[in-house]
Amino acid sequence: MVATAVGQSEPGDRRPGRLELERRDVISQRSWPTIAIVVAFLVIVPVAFLSVSVLRPNTDVWRQQWQTRLPGQLLDTAVLLVGVGFGALFLGTAMAWLVTAYRFPGSRVFGWLLIAPLAMPSYVLGFVTLSVFGFGGPIAGVWRSAFGDDAWFPQIRSMGGAIIVFTLVLYPYVFLLARTALAEQAGGAYAVARSLGASPGEAARRVVFPMLRPALAAGVGIVLMETLTDFATVQYFGVDTVSVGVFRIWRGTFDRDAAAEFATLVLVVALAVIGLERALRGKARFGEAAGKAAGVSATKLTGFKAVSATVACVAVLALSFGAPTAQLVMWAIDEATGSRGTPLVGRFLDFLGNSLVLATLTAVTCMIAAVVVVNAARFSRSRVTRWATRFTAIGYAMPGPVVAIGVVLALVALDDGLEAIGLNLPGVIATGSVLGLVYAYSVRFIAPGLNAVEAGLDQVSEEVTASARSLGTRPSSIIGRIHMPLSRASVLTGSVLVAIDAVKELPIALLLRPIGFDTLSVWTFNLASESRFQQASLPALAIIVVALVPVALLSRQLAQGPEIE
């Protein structure tokens, strides 16, 4: 391999003494890949157990499912995903374009207010919509008294209704990514297109949206994952997806293996969604930011156009957040002043506490893991570390039912293992504990935390890290002195995103919670699934309030614009 070059290899013969590394150097060099591998392993274990269960399929279960519900479930899943995907893509992109490319009364405020539905769980908007627009609801009542009992009225408890509800609560994911991309990247190309004579709309269609494709694909990817993970909202609307299938088998039979096999089906759909996202994204990753003032410059709207823009924003916000929240508040006041009272209201603080404990533990776990893994990738040169980091992010590819059933299988195996080595703990410790719940939540929600920490550390150039090291600072101390102070805002944002997800999370809580450990989301779901909508208002509002705190933090950051170095 090495050809000796003429006249330049004389010093090659001298070899001073051996290179002896100190123990702590060796430990430091080896610990980064090790930590990254351990974290990746913990994330992958549940899905690995799940996949193994397919290797010994129970054909009876499959045959029975195939002959009964499965074909319909596959169809419903596909229709729902396609409908919500297009709905959120359209609504999110349109709103992002409206608030970025135009100035109209309230456009700045709407720029951050439009993410409010992030605080609204789909199962809450779902039951409020059903009770207001459903057959027995007030609107249908007024309609019937005006046009007669047989007058046509849209059936809200349907696939269409479910698609509308998911679109309204999930569009902010597309909106957020599109808005950021518009504000940071697409400005230069947009300005050039306009200077070449294109109208704003034409420049948007031909230049800006193709540039936004990676961001839009990522946003739609998240939306589809959130839709797939749900099995509460879809049940209200009578939509029978594969996730509902897992829930039904697990709750009906507690047959771990059958549920596991069904959960792999959900996983397959999730992988298909990821494949789709990658394909849509094409070779482009997120585009390069082209300097600081690279955002799309806004055109001022006047007259009718300006009013229409404001009305459109108000309408979206009202339908997705304002009106349902107002309805919940009215119900809650009713409940509080009425004689009937919310069932279990005495345990409200318990449920709230459970939700907060769970969210806090999950956020702390995820952020510690994310900070360690992302820093490991920076400090370690081995390819293994980079791969491990990438694997850690696949939690996001695993819908709630997949993670839940996978964690059950893993913890049962752990229980069995502990028993085998003579540690005979009662089974509930591993399988029915808050620890198991936090583990499942962390596997599921580490991805947003990881993304946030990665984005934060991207702000700190490799050269800054290298400079600190060459000045004699060890990696562990660089994290504390350089990396954390410089990425604090991102780490905070990440923990907040994880916490919102944890408070809103329902499927994993329903499947895995220890007996008696109910969260706000479980309480809400139990009441709403018995059609006690008005009584579900108090816990639902509590979830929205808790989730609003982090959303407000995020909004404030958006309102202030991008952080300047």
Partner 1 sequence: MTSPLVVSNVVKQFGDVVAVNDVSIELQPGELLALVGPSGCGKSTLLRSVAGLLDIDAGAIELDGTLVDDGVRHLPPERRGAGLVFQEHALFPHMSVRDNVGFGLRGRSGSEAAARVAEMLDLVSLADFGDRYPHELSGGERQRVALARALAPGPGLMLFDEPFASLDHNLRVQLRLDVGRALRSTGTAAVFVTHDQTEALAIGDRIAVMRAGHLVQVGLPETVFHQPTDRFVGEFMGDASFLPVATSTGQISSALGPLRVDAGVDINSIVAMVRPDDVTFRASATGSATIVDRQYGGSGWLATARLGDGTDVLVATSHLDPPEIGSQGDLELLKGHEQVPVPLRHQS
Q: Which positions touch partner 1 (CB under 8 A)?
A: 1-6, 8-12, 14-19, 21-22, 25, 28-29, 381, 461, 463-464, 466-475, 482, 485-486, 564-565
Min. distance of Cβ 32 from partner 1 in angstroms?
A: 11
For residue 417, which amino acid is it? G
Cβ-based nearer residue to partner 1, 60 or 565: 565
- Where b means 16+ CB within 10 Å and e means fewer, 192-213 reads ebbeeebebeebbeebbbebbe
Min. distance of Cβ 20 from partner 1 in angstroms?
A: 8
Rg (C-alpha) for the chain, rounded Å, is: 26
Name the burial class of residue 416, with classes exposed (0-12), middle (13-18) and buried (19+) by CB atoms within 10 angstroms of its CB. Answer: exposed
Going by C-alpha positions, the residue among 10, 50, 21, 6 that lies closest to residue 411 is 50
Judge contact between 377 and 36, C-beta under 8 A. Answer: yes
Cβ-based nearer residue to partner 1, 25 or 202: 25
Min. distance of Cβ 457 from partner 1 in angstroms?
A: 14
Q: In the numeric block, which tokens belong to residue 292?
A: 């600081």
Interatomic CA distance for residues 96 and 313, integer angstroms:
10
Judge contact between 446 and 370, C-beta under 8 A. Answer: yes
Cβ-based nearer residue to partner 1, 486 or 553: 486
Q: For residue 528, give every residue at least 6 positions away whose Cβ sits within 8 Å of its Cβ, in sequence order, or none.
A: 123, 124, 126, 127, 232, 236, 536, 540
Cβ-based nearer residue to partner 1, 54 or 482: 482
Cβ-based nearer residue to partner 1, 260 or 479: 479
Judge contact between 505 and 440, C-beta under 8 A. Answer: no
Min. distance of Cβ 291 from partner 1 in angstroms?
A: 14
Cβ-based nearer residue to partner 1, 288 or 565: 565
Min. distance of Cβ 305 from partner 1 in angstroms?
A: 40
Q: Please report the beta strands in 128-249, taking only residues with DSSP state E, as ranges in sequence order.
A: none
Tokens 């789709």 correspond to 276
Min. distance of Cβ 561 from partner 1 in angstroms?
A: 16
Min. distance of Cβ 564 from partner 1 in angstroms?
A: 8
Cβ-based nearer residue to partner 1, 163 or 478: 478
Cβ-based nearer residue to partner 1, 19 or 420: 19
Bridge partner list, 224: none
Overall residue count recorded for the chain in this entry: 565
Helices 348-379 and 462-470: crossing angle in degrees, nearest 10, is 70
- Residue 423 phi, psi (nearest 5): -90, 90
Min. distance of Cβ 483 from partner 1 in angstroms?
A: 11
Min. distance of Cβ 478 from partner 1 in angstroms?
A: 9
Cβ-based nearer residue to partner 1, 1 or 420: 1
The dihedral of CA 98, 101, 107, 108: what is its sign? positive
Judge contact between 284 and 81, C-beta under 8 A. Answer: no
